[in-house]
Amino acid sequence: MSATTERPRLAVGRIGERLPREDAVPKVTGEFSYASDLSTPGMLWGDTLRSPHAHARVVSIDVTAALGLPGIHGALTHEDVPGKKLYGLEFADQPVLAIDRVRYVGEPVALVVAEHPEQARRALEAIVVEYEPLEPVVDMERALEQEPLHPDRPTMGHGYRDDRRPNVVRHLVIRHGDPDIAGDVVVTGTYELGIQDQAFLGPESGLAIPDGEGGVDIHVATQWLHVDRDQVAPCLDLRPEQVRLHLSGVGGSFGGREDLSMQIHSALLALHTGRPVKMVYDRAESFTGHVHRHPARIRCEHRATRDGRLTSVRMQILLDGGAYASSSTAVASNAASFGLGPYRVDNALIETTAVYTNNPPCGAMRGFGAVQTCFAAEAQMDQLAAELGLDPVELRLLNALEPGDSLPTGQVIEGSLPTREVIRRAAALPVPDQETLPRDPLRLPGGTGNTTTGEGIRRGVGFALGFKNICYSEGFDDFCAARVVLHADGSAVVHSAAAEVGQGVVGVMLQVARTELGTDEVTLAPHTTATVGSAGSTSASRMTWMAAGAVRDACRAALEERERRGGGEVDVERVHRHPRTTPLDPETGQITGERAHVALAVAAMRVVVEVDVELGLTRVVWVGTAQDVGKAVNPLALEGQIEGGTAQGLGLALMEEIVTRNGAIQNASFTDYLIPTALDMPPVEIELVEVPEPDAPYGVKGVGEPPTVVSTAAIVSAMRAATGRPLTRAPVRPDDICL
């Protein structure tokens, strides 16, 4: 067991200091131990047989031939799942292994376990599955009229609108004021986004080890250990404490590790063989092994007065959730709640529909529904500015949403939301002068390709504003536990199940503990479900807030306890909760209590691009951004989040798209699913706007998502300015510019 046992003591400081990451050097030098590096003596290798069909009836599965092959220790199908046959992050609608139907290409159908991965691979080829192909549902619009893929409607009866159309995962209508109210000007548009992938570098992997007493330990790269455990245990027919999840080295997640991948499968194989079983997806398998960002089609109508005040906005948002529900219902809620952008709009009608199809399942990805709507809403704001002859920044300032205003759900903003300040600070960043020619091709669109020496180049400056919520919403009972052990010698150990996925929560927890305890002698215990309660998910930009709160509370309680006892060793666990939320009304989309969302964060971004308008190639020259961060716990780590989030948004603007044909992914490799390289990323100038969030520990806000929400919109805004084209679809293809 190499990856998870010992953790070196991290030499970090207190809250507010610029601190380098402890894992930065090992990651760059290749010494960091990822889940794919897990290894233990006597381990076997598991592998997964996946559906080649987007939609088919499973007539029969015969594993006999596979079982006879050398090195094979087992081959399992749905019949071998001892407990619940279905699982899911929010709705148990997904079979552990396909039962009588497959609903997407890549759906797990059977498992094998062997001495060597190559033997496992050959055994997969020997499994005979008889399918009866069915017509796949691949168009999100037509899905609403086609045969239902889940006739039992798993998401209905959870307080959502009762929509009887086939394949509706969730239909949400937010009606606010009088949406029919007229304006002096009207702008309309239809916007589309392709499927973006998290493209994390560390593929899904894990190691399941039977404990010899019927239980199992699963070492895995994930975002939420306890929710994994709570999905795994019922399928194995075990009690939760018999299944222990331990965090292994995570190579990025971005939402793609919220749903289970190989957790149940590896545990099934480990319990079946009584031996440790490792599973690692290869790159192609990884593309089908996790959910993606929802592709979307968004229709908008914005009405405004002649002087630029928004009077009414209508939005119709269609999201393709793919074959299973995953977190589509929550993504739909976010898309609707933040659809308008951070603008004060008294009258609105926002209709969001998430559908089931036979496309790859979609779920959580950084930005979570707000990315798609920001792209549409900001294009509309630019169009409105052009229509009114107003400066786009002025138009945004004029309509900026501020504390005291309400969201279209009726929620009044009580926390911090410095919208005008982020707009002003981003707009004030000086835009670099145009570089002279001739230039190194690396500083021109086309880059190393040497496609231009200056021909066809147009410069454009764009601006966008984006916001989203921090923490889980709509009544979800969200909490985070932390345990602090104070030793008699004054040193302390912090236990937390918070998943470090590269965002830096490890450093945050140490900073908080050092600050609260007033000592440098703090270490972190391994992240596990075995010694501490749930930390909740590393998602929804919530982990810094929640972990900081839990560690702070536990530290303070530990100090009190020691004080009370007059010294000695103390060991306390505390649970931190943020203010409670309540669901949206299923008919009106209005809040049913004080709030449906906990807090908000806003970011503004200014972008300079150069576009070769004859070849349709783009160079993002410069990005300047101001972000509302509450309190910068570690400014260096925060800047890393902003740069990384911007790169991911740049990817969606320019190149990142999973292409499907009849539901099958056509580019499941890093050869053809392109993500930005260092040569595609511009320098990012960053302004941190610190207005403390009153409800949050130390006033912090999550920072991981806002840059991703705003950057795609801002970059394409600059590209529109450069090309004069509407560019209503992301990613923008060269064809959209020059054909």
Partner 1 sequence: MEVFRPSTLDEALRLRAEHPQARPIQGGTDVMVELTFGDARPEALLDLSELAELRGFAEEDGLLRLGAGLTYTEAMQTPLASRLPALAEASRTVGSPQIRNRGTIGGNLGTASPAGDALPPLLAERAEVELASARGTRTMPLAEFLLGVKRTALAPGELVTAVRVRPCEGPQTFAKVGQRNAMVIAICSLAVVVDAEAGEVRAAFGSSAVTARCVVVPLAEAAELPERVVEAASPIDDVRATAAYRRHALRVLAARTLERCLRT
* Of 501, 497, 551, nearest in space to 228 by CA: 497
Residue pointed to by tokens 């910068």: 632
CA distance 736 to 616: 7
Tell me the two tokens of residue 356.
Answer: 């089931």
Q: Candidates 225-233, 234-242, 500-508, 652-660 — which segment interacts with partner 1 by CB under 8 A?
A: 652-660
Kindly determine how many residues on this chain lie close enough to bind partner 1 according to the rule CB under 8 A: 37
CA distance 240 to 666: 39
> Given the complex with partner 1, which of 448 and 519 has the nearer CB atom?
448
Task: Kindly state the helix (H) or strand (E) to which residue 184 belongs, with its residue range.
Answer: none
Is 128 a residue that touches partner 1 (CB under 8 A)? no
Question: Contacts with partner 1 in 424-443 (CB under 8 A)?
Answer: 442
Euclidean distance between the first and final Cα of the chain, in Å? 56
Closest CB 659 distance from partner 1, rounded Å: 5
Residue nearer to partner 1 on the CB measure, 106 or 445: 445
Is residue 315 near partner 1 by the rule CB under 8 A?
no
Q: Which of 488, 484, 552 is nearest to 524 (CA)?
A: 484
Q: Should residue 39 be labelled a site residue for partner 1 when binding is judged by CB under 8 A?
A: no
Pick 298 or 684: Cβ nearer partner 1: 684
Q: How far is the CB of 714 from partner 1 (least distance, A)?
A: 19
- Quick note: the x/- pattern for partner 1 over 670-709, rule CB under 8 A, is -xx-x-xx-xx-----------------------------
* 438 cis-preceded (ω within 30 degrees of 0): yes
Shortest distance, CB of residue 678 to partner 1, whole angstroms? Answer: 8
3-class state of residue 173 by DSSP:
strand
Q: What is the rounded CA–CA span in Å between residue 566 and residue 451?
A: 74
C-beta of 402 vs 614, nearer to partner 1? 614
The tokens of 66 are what? 């596979």
Least Å distance between CB 670 and partner 1? 9
* Residues 460 and 720 sit within 8 Å (Cβ to Cβ): yes
Query: Considering only 326-334, 368-376, 664-672, 694-702, which stretch makes contact with partner 1 by CB under 8 A?
Result: 664-672
Contact (Cβ atoms closer than 8 angstroms) between residue 42 and residue 89: no
Residue recorded with tokens 């392109």: 674
Query: Which of 291, 551, 608, 617 touches partner 1 by CB under 8 A?
Result: 617
Amino acid, single-letter form, for residue 711: S
CA Rg value for the chain: 26
Q: For the beta carbon of residue 488, count every other beta carbon within 10 angstroms.
A: 10
In terms of CB distance, is 5 or 671 closer to partner 1? 671
- Segment near partner 1 (CB under 8 A), from 185-193, 338-346, 551-559, 665-673? 665-673
Interatomic CA distance for residues 657 and 628, integer angstroms: 29
Pick 322 or 445: Cβ nearer partner 1: 445
* Binding to partner 1, residues 443-472 (CB under 8 A): 445-453, 455-456
Q: Which is nearer to partner 1, 86 or 674 (CB)?
A: 674
| Nearest residue (CB) to partner 1, 488 versus 659 | 659
Tokens encoding 19:
């601190």
Q: How far is the CB of 120 from partner 1 (least distance, A)?
A: 12
Nearer to partner 1, 419 or 711 (CB): 711
Which amino acid type is present at position 216?
Answer: V
Least separation in angstroms between CB 50 and partner 1: 15
Give the nearer residue to partner 1 in terms of CB position, either 197 or 585. 197
Can you list the positions of beta strands (E) in 629-730?
660-661, 664-665, 684-689, 729-730
Determine if 202 is a binding residue for partner 1 (CB under 8 A). no
1 is an interface residue for partner 1 by CB under 8 A: no
Applying CB under 8 A, the span of 62-70, 342-350, 540-548, 663-671 interacting with partner 1 comes to 663-671
CB of 676 to partner 1, least distance (A): 7
Joined tokens for residue 507: 């450093």
3-class SS of residue 508: helix
Give whichever of 529 and 660 is closer to partner 1, judged by the CB atom. 660
Residue 208: strand pairing partners: 218, 277
> How far is the C-alpha of 57 from the C-alpha of 257, rounded, in Å?
28
Residue whose CB is less far from partner 1, 420 or 459? 459
Residue 739 interacting with partner 1 (CB under 8 A):
yes
Applying CB under 8 A, does 648 fall inside the site for partner 1?
A: no
Write the CA distances from 350 to 79, 314, 318, 419, 684, integer angstroms: 44, 6, 11, 22, 34
State in angstroms the smallest separation of the CB of 666 from partner 1.
5
Question: Kind and range of the H or E element at 133?
Answer: strand 128-133
H/E element, 352: strand 348-355
Nearest distance from residue 318's CB to partner 1, in Å?
Answer: 24
Rounded to the nearest 5 degrees, what angle is found at the Cα of 515, between the Cα atoms of 512 and 520? Answer: 100
Query: Residue 561 CB, nearest distance to partner 1 (Å)?
Result: 55
- Binding residues for partner 1, rule: CB under 8 A, are 121, 282, 284, 442, 445-453, 455-456, 614-617, 619, 654-655, 659, 666-667, 671-672, 674, 676-677, 679-680, 733-735, 738-739
